[in-house]
Amino acid sequence: MKLKHIADTLLDEASPPARLQEALNAFVKLCTEISGVVPDRSFDAWAGDSLLKDGVAISPEAAAHCVHDTQRSVVFVRAAFAAIKAAQKRFANGPIDILYAGCGPFATILLPLLGRFNPDELTVHLLDIHQRSLDSVALIVKHCGLQTHRISYLQDDACNYQHPSNPHVVIAETMQKSLEQEPQFAVTANLAPQLQARGIFIPQKVEVALCLAKLDDETAAFRRGDTLDPNALVEAGNRYPLATVLCLTPEDAQRLKQQASQTDNDFLELSPVNVTIPATAHLDDFDAVLFTRIQAFEQHRLLDYEAEITLPLRCNELMPLHTEDRYRISLQIGRYPKFSVTRIRDD
C-alpha cells in the first residue's frame, strides 16, 4: 500500500476499523522496511528509553509500536489534517509553520499527510530527543519522494526547546494514560506559549477524571465489544464521577506549572484537588479509577477505553474505599510523572 492510499484510508471517516488497522499495518511495514526500526513494546525496547528530567522519552522501537494503538493514531492524524486546514484559513498569507514534538521514528501524525499539501504550503520542524528517530524519518521522507517539502530535523528536549519563531501548529503526543510516565505536561507547558497567537496545539485538551467505577465489569463489557457510555453508567448508578483531577490545555499549562510547588523528593507538584468518598450503596463493589479523555482537535476525540492512552487506571491508593475519607490528588512532574494521592487526616 502506498503512502497516499494509507492517508486516504486513515482520513476517510467511512473506513471500517479493519481497513484502518490494515492501513496502519501497511504504514508500519513501509516505514520499517525503509528505516530498519522494528516496533517493539517489550522490556527489551525499554533499554532504549531516555530518562529525562520531566519524564520518560520512550525508545524509537517503543514509539514505533504506538502506531498500532489504532484509534489513537487515526484520531491524531485526522486532527492534524483538520488543524492544518484550519490554520490555512486563519493564516492565509504564507506557509503554515508546524512544530511536531516527539515525532518518533515514523512521524506518524504528520508524515501520511504531507503528500496532501504542496511543498510551499508548509514548513515542518520535526523534534525528538532520539537522533535515531530523526534519522529514520529522514530516510522515509526521502524514500517517499517528500524531500521537496521544507523539513528540518531537531534533536532536543521538547520540555526546554525554544523555537526561533512562533509556529502556527504544534503537535505533541508524548503521553500514556493518566499522563503517567511520559512528559506531555512539561512539553505542553514549554511549547504552547511559543505558538503564534490563534495558533493550534494538538491535543487541545487532556482531561483526567477520578471516578468510582466497577472496573472489572466495565473491562469485561469492553472486551465483549459492548458500548460503554459514561453518562449511561452514571445514570444507572454504576459510576460516580468524583472530580476532574487535571484539565491540561495549551492555554493553561504554563500557568499551572508556575503555580506548582517543589516537593521534598525534587518533583514539581501541581495544585492539588481534594476529594471526599461519597456515601454510596455497595461501596465495596467500586474501584477508584482515573479516566483520561483527549480532545486532539475539535471533534477528533478519544474517550474512555478508545485507545491505550485512554484506558482506565485503578487508583489503589484510595482502596479500600470508606465513605467520608478525604484525599488530596495532584500530578507530580519529574523523571516519572504520575498522580500522587495522600489521605487527609483530621488530626
Minimum distance of ligand SAM from residue 162's CB (angstroms): 13
Based on the number of CB atoms within 10 Å of its own CB, is 241 exposed (0-12), middle (13-18) or buried (19 or more)? middle
Minimum distance of ligand SAM from residue 145's CB (angstroms): 22
Minimum distance of ligand SAM from residue 104's CB (angstroms): 3
The three grid cell numbers given for residue 210, joined into one nine-digit string:
477520578
Q: Which is nearer to ligand SAM, 205 or 328 (CB)?
A: 205
Minimum distance of ligand SAM from residue 65's CB (angstroms): 9
Residue 291's contacts (CB-CB under 8 Å, 6 or more residues apart) are 208, 209, 210, 211, 213, 230, 304, 310, 312
Q: Among 206, 217, 331, 191, which residue's Cα sits nearest to residue 271? A: 331
How many secondary structure helices (H) and strands (E) does the chain include?
11, 17
Q: Which is nearer to ligand SAM, 186 or 288 (CB)?
A: 186
Q: Which is nearer to ligand SAM, 129 or 195 (CB)?
A: 129
**How far apart are alpha carbons 167 and 197 in whole angstroms?**
9
**How far apart are alpha carbons 214 and 30 in whole angstroms?**
41
Minimum distance of ligand SAM from residue 170's CB (angstroms): 12
Minimum distance of ligand SAM from residue 180's CB (angstroms): 12
Q: Which is nearer to ligand SAM, 107 or 277 (CB)?
A: 107
Minimum distance of ligand SAM from residue 149's CB (angstroms): 18
Minimum distance of ligand SAM from residue 187's CB (angstroms): 6
The three grid cell numbers given for residue 181, joined into one nine-digit string:
510516565
The three grid cell numbers given for residue 284, joined into one nine-digit string:
465495596
CA 93 to chain CA centroid, Å, is 31
Helix (H) / strand (E) containing 212: strand 205-213
The three grid cell numbers given for residue 278, joined into one nine-digit string:
461519597
Whether residue 202 contacts residue 83, with contact meaning beta carbons closer than 8 Å, is answered with yes
Check the CA dihedral 234-240-243-249 and report its sign.
Answer: negative
The three grid cell numbers given for residue 329, joined into one nine-digit string:
490528588
Helix (H) / strand (E) containing 327: strand 326-333
- Site residues for ligand SAM per CB under 6 A: 52, 57-58, 63, 66-67, 101-104, 108-109, 127-130, 133, 157-159, 173-174, 182-183, 187
Task: Give the side-chain half-sphere CA count within 13 A for 176.
Answer: 16
Q: Among 258, 250, 221, 225, which residue's Cα sits nearest to residue 236? A: 221
Residue nearest to ligand SAM (CB): 102
Minimum distance of ligand SAM from residue 255's CB (angstroms): 20
Q: Which is nearer to ligand SAM, 127 or 213 (CB)?
A: 127
Q: Which is nearer to ligand SAM, 133 or 194 (CB)?
A: 133
Q: Which is nearer to ligand SAM, 45 or 246 (CB)?
A: 45
End-to-end CA distance of the chain: 65
Q: Which is nearer to ligand SAM, 57 or 246 (CB)?
A: 57
Q: Which is nearer to ligand SAM, 189 or 245 (CB)?
A: 189
